[in-house]
Structure formats: structure tokens, C-alpha cells
Amino acid sequence: MKIDSHQHVFWLGRDDRWLIGEMDELGIDVAWLLTWYLSPQENDPSYHRNTSPVHARADGTHAAMPLVDVVTACRRYPGRFIPGYCPDPTLPSALQLFESAYHIHGVRVCGEWSYRTLLDDPRSIELFRKVGELNCPVVLHMDVPYLPDGKGGRGYQWRWYGGTVENLERALQACPETIFIGHSPGFWREISGDADARPETYPDGPVTPNGRLIRLFNEYPNLWGDLSAGSGLNAMQRDLDHAMPFIGKNADRLLFGRDQYGNDLDTFLQSLNLPDDIAEKVYSGNALKLIPMECAQS
């Protein structure tokens, strides 16, 4: 069995029918469908051309991939999707919105987190605690607010989400009953101890010792890892001597996913010739521990 634990729909010029066709072609049984909601104040013009025009607002902003896209695809293709949704944590009704989505639309994943709000902001913590009460995991998109600018200083990154690993650690401590699934460049860059010195969004080269992410995996059992997209793949590909021990040690908390379309991660994982028990966990077993198959919308 193969479960894509990180996917979106109605974007990159593709609809839900196309996505199902690709899943069938690649042997993917089920996908977690996640929202990527942009509030008006977090509008990002780069998403206007990649997402459905039906979500364009009159003020010129765009909602990107809201819950209605997930619900539509789940209803059209029963049994193939696990619905996900993450409301804006700064909304006063964020907790009620997620709980309503859980009961009305069968949402079982809080994701994708994609907000310029710190992970340890009190409003974020309250949302994460509610999600944990409902036994749902959180899929986090993290991008750091600052990167080295190559001149001895730090450059502000306006597309930051969630904050730094320090903010993540405080959220892990505040919500020990909630499973956090880390993803994206701001998360996976911290696998290497030289993250603070690397100006690239996707650092390459050998993984150096004392990566903060390694410590977090060692200390917090509620931290899991999403291998999807260029970020997860890059973190593994950049140093094969590090990737194999890392996957082996954390095999119970790593998830296969794609985020964008294509088969790059699967091709890479197949090249590692992982032991059968580890491959089974990464491709489907771990996802099923978090969300059983019967939660797929039928």
C-alpha cells in the first residue's frame, strides 16, 4: 500500500480527475488532501496563476486552496482522500472552525499550516491543543523569517511561516499530546548543524553534526517528519551517508508524501533499497497509525 500524506488539488493547472489518474498510474491508494489558505493580508500573487480562479476575491487577493476544494474532491472520489484543513489561527473562531470541519466534513488532518504567525503564539497553541484533543495530526509548513545575506547580516524573508525551530520546540513542549509533522525548507534545513550559516533555501552538501532537528527528533516523540516536496527530498539526497541512518532511526515517524505532482521521492526511496519493514512504515504504516483507512471519505 502507498499513502501520499501530503497533497493538494485544483492547482498547477490540474483538477481532481487528473490527480486521481496520476495516483492510479503511480500506485497511490490514498492521499491526504490539505488546504493552503491565504487570508487577504497574506496574499501571495505567485499563487494566482497556479490555483483555481474561482477563489479570486474582489479586492484582488486570492484564497489559494481553501477547504471547499478538499470537500469537492472528497465527494467526487470517495475512499481515495483523507480531508485536511487548517484555519487561520488568528481568527477568533479558529478552534470552532476546525472542530466543525472535523464533524461535518470528516477532516482528520490539521494542515497545511501556512501562516505568518509564530508556532508558539498563544492562538496557535490553543488550535494545536484542540487538534490534539480530536486525535488529529498537524502538518506544518515552516519557512524561517531570516536567512544569512552573504554580507554578515540577515535578510528578511517575507514568505516566512511559523518561525524558527525554537518556536517549534516551544509548541512541542506546550502540546505534548499533539502530533506535529514537520515539512518544508524551514524545517528540513535544520537537519544540518550549519543551518545558520547557509543562505540557500535548500542547502546542499554534507549534513554536519549537531543539527537542531536531530535533537528535536531525539527529545520529542510528538515530532514526525514529512519527506514530501523538494525540501524533504533534498534533506535526504544531500548526504546519503546521513540519510540511511536517519531514516532507519526515525522509521516510525517518517511519512511518504509528494506535495507537488510527480514521483521523485518514490524513485529516490526505491534507490535506497530500504529494508521491507522500514519501507512499509514510511510508505503507509506510519500514516495508518495516525489516520486509519476507514477515515477516507466514502
Q: What percent of the chain has pLDDT over 90?
A: 95
Q: Which residue in the block uniquely carries the three cell numbers 513542549?
A: 173
| Residue 289 scores a pLDDT above 90 | yes
Of the candidates 163, 162, 158, 171, which has an alpha carbon nearest to the alpha carbon of residue 126? 171
Query: Which CATH code is given to the segment(s) 3-295?
Result: 3.20.20.140
Torsion sign across C-alpha atoms 116, 122, 123, 126:
positive
Q: Is the pLDDT of residue 1 over 90?
A: yes
CA angle 56, 13, 282 (to 5 degrees): 110
> Which residue bears the cell 533534498?
234
Beta bridge partners of 14: 11
- Mean pLDDT across the stretch 25-47? 95
User: Has residue 294 got a pLDDT over 90?
Assistant: no
Which residue carries 518544508 as its cell? 184
Q: Does the pLDDT of residue 293 top 90, yes or no? A: no
| Interval 96-154: pLDDT, tens | 999 999 999 999 999 999 999 999 999 999 999 999 999 999 999 999 999 998 888 89
Taking CA atoms, 208 is separated from 86, 94, 205, 238, in Å, by 34, 39, 9, 11
Q: What is the pLDDT of residue 151?
A: 82
pTM of the predicted protein model: 0.97
The amino acid present at 55, given as its one-letter code, is: H
What pLDDT does residue 297 have? 59
3-state secondary structure 9-42: CCECCECHHHHHHHHHHHCCCEEEECCEECCHHH
State the average pLDDT over residues 246-264.
Answer: 97
The structural domains of the chain, with segments of one domain joined by +, span 3-295
Question: pLDDT tens for residues 157-170?
Answer: 999 999 999 999 99
Q: Is the predicted pLDDT of residue 211 greater than 70, yes or no? A: yes
What pLDDT is recorded for position 298?
58
Which run of H or E residues covers position 254? Answer: strand 254-255
| Average pLDDT for 47-72 | 95
